[in-house]
Amino acid sequence: MAQQEARQRRPSIHDVASHAGVSAATVSKVLAGVTTVKPENAQRVFDAVERLGYRVDPLASDMRRAKRRIIGAIMPEFESEFFGSMVTELEGLAEQRGYTLVAASSRESEAREKEILARMHDWRVAGVVLAPVRNEHGPAAAFMKAHGMTGVLIDRVLSDDAFDTVSADSFAASAEVARMLIGNGHSHILVIGLAEQAATVRARLEGFRSQALALNPSVRIDVITSEVSVAPLRSSLRDYFGRGERPTAVYSLLLKGTLVALSEFRRRGWHCPDDISLVGFDDAEWMQVTWPAIAAVVQPVRQIASEAMNLLFRRVEGDAGPPTARLEPCQVLMRESVGSPGSGPHSGGGDRQQPPLS
């Protein structure tokens, strides 16, 4: 073990060099694995490294290269399971390749997104994994393009003419949700979402609508979206039910919508699935322990992260082929929140379901 007093200056490559009786260049080569060094000298270098507890300063090491061994990650937020595990995955993958991941939250603001990107450009990051706030056409992607940055766009994107994109196959997953609901006999379905995040949400809506209509041309699909935030969505939903609309199922295109739907159900005293069925895009840990468990579309976080990093490093290493647009398949989890219409009274009564013991 290295004996190094606390608060003391850390040993530099020159300290190692003098201890080993060689030049700094030789130390650098030994540590880089160059083979044109006499074995005896290499051993002396390793010994000195061990004795001094020397470790390369990544900052100094990166100085001379145009692309530093840093990957930037920009997420709309860190508070959700989805982006939280996305960052965890990306961090691990970057680390595996000897890169440092610097993650930042755009806090759902495109202006901030661009500022962060500019700062990452200042750092001369090798590449960026950007989960844009809205879609691939925002100012951030434009900035990346204008400055020749290499990057991959994920999540709220469909395809781009300059960057590789990776996202969940929202269209296919939504089609499966449609099959599930139509198959259960639902013929009046409400879809809720936030239109801001155009790219994915639109795909989710279209995937659902097209499949639902294909299976039952007379199905009635109502859509409630909000441009701005979740608050208007809540009041629109309240108005909608207040007008006496009674769909038998709700499909929420995003997690926050699922929460809004649930809270509105509970305000009105409705139960899933007796009074109304519910499916949400995006899964969360709590959804399987609530009563009832909420059916959900599970996004393939791991695959998205892994594919994004593969593509990114291919570009970092110089690949200049045309950009690709990948869609990773989702899993649709059927849970108790989905039933057949009319299986329960629409208001009041209705014993709670009693799941079998053990």
Partner DNA sequence: CAAGAACGAAAAATCGATTTATCGAATGGA
Partner DNA sequence: TCCATTCGATAAATCGATTTTTCGTTCTTG
124 binding a copy of itself? (CB under 8 A)? yes
**Residues 256-285 within binding reach of a copy of itself (CB under 8 A):** 259, 262-263, 266-269, 271, 284-285
**If contact means CB under 5 to 8 A according to the sort of partner, which of DNA, a copy of itself, none does residue 243 touch?**
none
Query: Nearer Cβ to a copy of itself, position 28 or 100?
Result: 100
- The minimum distance between CB 73 and DNA, in angstroms, equals 23
- The minimum distance between CB 9 and DNA, in angstroms, equals 6
Query: Nearer Cβ to DNA, position 7 or 9?
Result: 9
296 binding a copy of itself? (CB under 8 A)? no
Closest CA to 180 of 275, 172, 254: 172
**Residues 16-55 within binding reach of DNA (CB under 7 A):** 21-29, 31-32, 36-38, 40-41
Selected from 61, 236, 290, 353, the binder of DNA by CB under 7 A is 61
Query: Nearer Cβ to a copy of itself, position 58 or 232?
Result: 58
339 vs 148, 182, 252, 261, 279, CA distance in Å?
51, 11, 16, 16, 11
**Residues 319-358 within binding reach of a copy of itself (CB under 8 A):** 348-352, 354-355, 357-358
288 binding a copy of itself? (CB under 8 A)? yes
Query: Nearer Cβ to DNA, position 22 or 120?
Result: 22
Query: Nearer Cβ to a copy of itself, position 77 or 206?
Result: 77
Binding site for DNA (CB under 7 A): 9-14, 21-29, 31-32, 36-38, 40-41, 56-57, 60-61, 63-65
Binding site for a copy of itself (CB under 8 A): 4, 6-10, 55-60, 62-63, 66, 68, 77-81, 83-85, 87-88, 91, 100-105, 107, 118-119, 121-124, 145-148, 259, 262-263, 266-269, 271, 284-291, 348-352, 354-355, 357-358
